[in-house]
């Protein structure tokens, strides 16, 4: 194989060229490609499983952790879900070419905006074959070309999937280079991918905080990314206790490993003696460790899994059956704490007080801010985006769950009749 720099440069050039064709592709061609890929995946399920077995054998031989092997495994259900996911993307409205807000100006020109693709999307992800198909599908529908760099442990399965994607693209008359898989497992390829702004318009890293921090340091291409999810629920003293219990339990215990899981619970001082013992009963059923500040510990004394919170806990994403608990004076102190320690992912208030709810919504500087709902709802599907390429904690471009629209941009269009500037 030629050297990595030359190889990635070629991949980039092909992607840029394919992106021009994808940008002008019509809706029916893009949808046809998606349904053809779905059909090919169902047709070749056996071959995909065989490729996946090669990856799994190599992974076990290399002593990969069992959790990683789990994520790498392509079950029958996973194959069916991939195909259905593509058909779902096909059924979404095409965002590209949409013209909005055309308004006449006093000069006679008419000005508005047209939604267009970003161009080339680089996606860097771990050894999860389903991401290959999801990401390819979203990029095709949004008229972008994409370069996919999956975890090296999934290389056989990813290459098999890439073949089916290319078959679908060609079958719909679209350039097969619109979706390219990086064919080398050499890590230098990632270094090239994130430093080719001439070919790549945006990088979407999907992986752990370590990976993303590393990429951030070196990338010359803008990223749509979130580092971590330190999410809060604040139980106000005007909260409906039933809602507070239900939401606080769900936000922590529905799933521990997700980025929209609550990691810190804030409770208003005057309602804490009422609400904390009841919550402890619920969390006790799941053996959740409560890392509480002094005031909360006094109320929770006797709880089986009670420990002491330190400053470090306010900054920690546990991704486990652990919850930091802190007593605050009021909604003002809750907002102050959240704006200091939150990762700006998702934060919720539980209250029946209108003014406090509105204040919390306005002043908490996070991608998703909620009243009386579980932080677990922060998700592209739950928000009705139909799909999700990732979540952004940044403020520029896209914020919160990112669907098809996040892979697009708006350009200005002007309809004139020979007007000139006086």
- Residues of this chain that interact with its own copies (CB under 8 A) are 20, 23-24, 97, 103, 105, 107, 109, 111, 114, 116, 118-119, 201-202, 222, 240, 242-243, 246-247, 249-251, 254, 339, 348, 361-363, 365-374, 376-378, 382-384, 394-397, 399-401, 409-421
Q: Dihedral angle at the C-alpha atoms of 320, 326, 330, 336, nearest 10 degrees?
A: -70
What are the phi and psi torsion angles at 215 (to 5°)?
A: -65, -40
Closer to its own copies by Cβ: residue 77 or 411: 411
d(CA 144, CA 291): 46
Helix or strand run (H / E) with residue 235:
strand 231-235
Closer to its own copies by Cβ: residue 28 or 107: 107
3-state secondary structure of 168: helix
Closer to its own copies by Cβ: residue 141 or 297: 141
Token pair, residue 93, equals 């409205």
Closer to its own copies by Cβ: residue 291 or 376: 376
Smallest gap, in angstroms, from Cβ of residue 215 to its own copies? 14
Closer to its own copies by Cβ: residue 289 or 363: 363
Smallest gap, in angstroms, from Cβ of residue 360 to its own copies? 10
Burial class (CB in 10 A: 0-12, 13-18, 19+), 252: buried
Smallest gap, in angstroms, from Cβ of residue 166 to its own copies? 24
Smallest gap, in angstroms, from Cβ of residue 118 to its own copies? 5
Smallest gap, in angstroms, from Cβ of residue 8 to its own copies? 21
d(CA 198, CA 220): 10
Smallest gap, in angstroms, from Cβ of residue 305 to its own copies? 22
Closer to its own copies by Cβ: residue 116 or 290: 116
CA max distance for the chain: 80
Alpha helices in 219-330 (DSSP H): 241-253, 272-284, 294-300
Token pair, residue 51, equals 């490729």
């Amino acid at each position: 194989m030629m050297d990595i720099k030359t190889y990635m440069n070629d991949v980039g050039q092909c992607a840029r060229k394919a992106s021009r064709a994808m940008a002008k592709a019509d809706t029916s061609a893009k949808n046809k490609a998606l349904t053809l890929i779905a059909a090919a995946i169902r047709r070749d399920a056996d071959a995909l499983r065989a490729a996946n077995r090669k990856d799994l054998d190599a992974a076990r031989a290399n002593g990969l952790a069992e959790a990683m092997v789990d994520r790498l495994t392509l079950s029958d259900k996973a194959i069916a879900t991939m195909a259905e996911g593509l058909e779902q993307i096909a059924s979404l409205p095409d965002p590209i070419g949409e013209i909005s807000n055309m308004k006449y100006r006093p000069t006679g020109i008419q000005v508005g905006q047209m939604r267009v693709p970003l161009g080339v999307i680089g996606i860097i992800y771990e050894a999860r074959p389903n991401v290959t198909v999801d990401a390819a599908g979203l990029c095709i529908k949004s008229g972008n070309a994409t370069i996919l760099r999956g975890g090296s442990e999934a290389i056989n399965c990813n290459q098999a999937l890439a073949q089916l994607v290319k078959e679908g693209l060609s079958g719909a008359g679209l350039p097969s280079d619109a979706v390219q898989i990086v064919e080398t497992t050499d890590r230098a390829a990632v270094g090239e991918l994130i430093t080719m702004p001439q070919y790549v318009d945006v990088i979407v890293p999907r992986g752990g905080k370590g990976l993303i921090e590393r990429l951030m340091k070196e990338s010359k291409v803008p990223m749509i990314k979130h580092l971590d999810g330190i999410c809060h629920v604040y139980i106000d003293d005007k909260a409906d206790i039933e809602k507070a219990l239900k939401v606080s339990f769900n936000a922590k215990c529905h799933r521990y490993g997700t980025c929209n899981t609550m990691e810190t619970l804030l409770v208003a001082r005057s309602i804490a003696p009422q609400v904390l013992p009841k919550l402890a009963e619920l969390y006790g059923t799941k053996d959740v460790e409560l890392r509480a500040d002094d005031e909360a510990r006094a109320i929770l004394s006797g709880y089986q899994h009670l420990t002491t919170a330190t400053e470090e806990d306010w900054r920690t994403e546990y991704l486990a059956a652990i919850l930091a608990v802190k007593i605050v004076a009021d909604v003002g102190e809750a907002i102050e704490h959240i704006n200091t320690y939150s990762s700006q992912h998702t934060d919720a208030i539980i209250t029946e007080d209108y003014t406090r709810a509105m204040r919390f919504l306005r002043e908490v500087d996070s991608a998703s801010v909620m009243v009386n709902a579980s932080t677990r709802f922060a998700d592209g599907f739950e928000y009705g985006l139909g799909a999700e390429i990732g979540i952004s904690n940044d403020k520029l471009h896209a914020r919160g769950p990112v669907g098809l629209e996040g892979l697009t941009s708006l350009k200005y269009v002007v309809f004139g009749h020979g007007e000139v500037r006086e």
